[in-house]
Structure 1
């Protein structure tokens, strides 16, 4: 099925309530800093509504969309694959408009936010492709959200939440009941679900886990974990439990988390930032686009989840 880009953008903007959310609190800060650091005139190169909200249509291609490619971060691999495998008018739907090098808990620490290279932007425009990104509005979506996708695949019952947003009263952190399990079994399941070679683990191992907290992406905030623990959570599942960004900010956060981890009773499990957010694309978002809109989708998994 072919969909007019103009109509598709309206559907997606409305589904994720972009106008209600206003400026993305993260990328309205990080995107200008990243592109200004390399002297790239992002305001003239990206669509005007995006430069105001930092969500939505980033690059506008041909007026008819045949396929939507789904990814999380704009890595070189993802963008090269999109440009090579796409046809004029196809659209790339990502969670981030910047690459986020979060670092590898068993390898190299990351650089933090990295802008899309100018050659990829030029390649996308030359082929008349489109790019759409949605960050906070996707995280908070009640049925298509990043954490909601994790809860569904774990067959978890959502019973409470933390960090609600005023726009739709949906919590960012989901507190859930699950069938009884133990830490090692839960880690084994998560490695299979997210297709990762290892998790980042800290805290305590439990023989009987029945209550969990879920927050996709960067859940490495001590006050969030403290609040979850007060609600009786046994395991805290997120993308990043430790910040491995190689700067003063990253080292300070890492130190604070290590101190908390030495005292907590919870199992703290990180499945990588990108993998935790890719799950929603290959499940809920793919289903929504194909069944509700009727358009073909193509998945682009990241070449390395711990990046």
Structure 2
């Protein structure tokens, strides 16, 4: 059994919550408390009602997510929104959310772990966003087809892609997990030849073609499973509690 307060303080410090900027709806940190004790940690990408119910069914008393309870902004606690809070509170389920701070963490982050999984062993940070570097980049000597295979193997699913670059090699590869496809023009301006992200707007595909940049849409959900898995595993190891991953893919 572990102290929720100790775990909360540890994550806050490890992920530098007070220093890393984020979107206003992220509300990083402990979003819902429990009785103060943790015996089993569940990890998931989204704090949705089905995920909360799965975590409860698996006996978790702490849920660590990437997208928290307040992404849609302030809402009245009615309908599904009420059910999420009511069921979590009744089941003594604490909910902790970490978004950008988990994306950019050098060892536990979504970017770092995806980059490592596809062979980017010497990646450096790039792409300025609100005073921090949001992604990782590295020049690589392999063909685009092999990169597609590496990404698909790392994620366990097929990916969608735009072959915008004329050369067969990937050149300089950039990785920003989640929904960064709209940054394709910024990627081209920074010398990225192959950009790997989760998803993007429709116009990002033709723009990538026009800019001569390869663009891999690897899945918003799929690219953001790495961080919560790693964080929950570290909590389990440090405090000797059980951990599990709640897989509830969106297909996006």
Match of residue 65 from structure 1: 38
CA contact (8 A) 2:118 2:147 kept: no
The equivalent residue for 1:239 is 198
In the TM superposition, residue 182 of structure 1 has moved relative to its aligned partner by 2.1
After TM superposition, give the deviation of residue 177 of structure 1 in Å: 3.1
TM-score (norm 2): 0.86
Contact 1:289 1:295 in 2 (8 A): yes
Question: Helix, strand or coil for the counterpart of 1:262?
Answer: helix
Cα contact 2:233–2:243 (8 A) shared by 1: no
Residue 5 (1) aligns with residue 4 (2) = yes
Where in structure 1 are there 5+ consecutive unaligned residues?
A: 29-53, 101-111, 244-253
Alignment equivalent of 2:112, drawn from 106, 129, 148? 148
The answer to whether the Cα contact below 8 Å between 2:45 and 2:221 also exists between their aligned partners in 1 is: yes
Partner of 2:188: 229
Question: Which residue in the other structure is 1:202 paired with?
Answer: 162
Contact 1:203/1:263, CA 8 A, preserved across alignment: no
Distance 2:67 2:162 in 1: 27
TM-score normalized by the length of structure 1: 0.71
What is the RMSD computed on CA atoms of the aligned residues? 2.6
Instruction: Give the Å deviation of 1:264.
Output: 2.0
2:176 corresponds in structure 1 to 215
Is the aligned partner of 1:278 residue 2:225? yes
Q: How many Å apart are 1:66 and its aligned residue?
A: 0.6
Q: 1:36-74, CA deviations, whole angstroms, 9 ceiling, x for partnerless residues?
A: xxxxxxxxxxxxxxxxxx111111112210111011112
Q: Would the alpha carbon gap of residues 199 and 98 (structure 1) be closer, same or farther in structure 2, given more than 3 Å must change? A: farther
Could you say which residue in structure 2 is the equivalent of 1:43? none
Q: Which residue of 2 aligns with 1:296?
A: 242
1:134–1:160: structure 2 CA closer, same or farther, 3 Å change rule?
Answer: closer
Q: Work out the CA distance in 1 between the residues paired with 2:175 and 2:58.
A: 34
Contact 1:98 1:114 in 2 (8 A): no
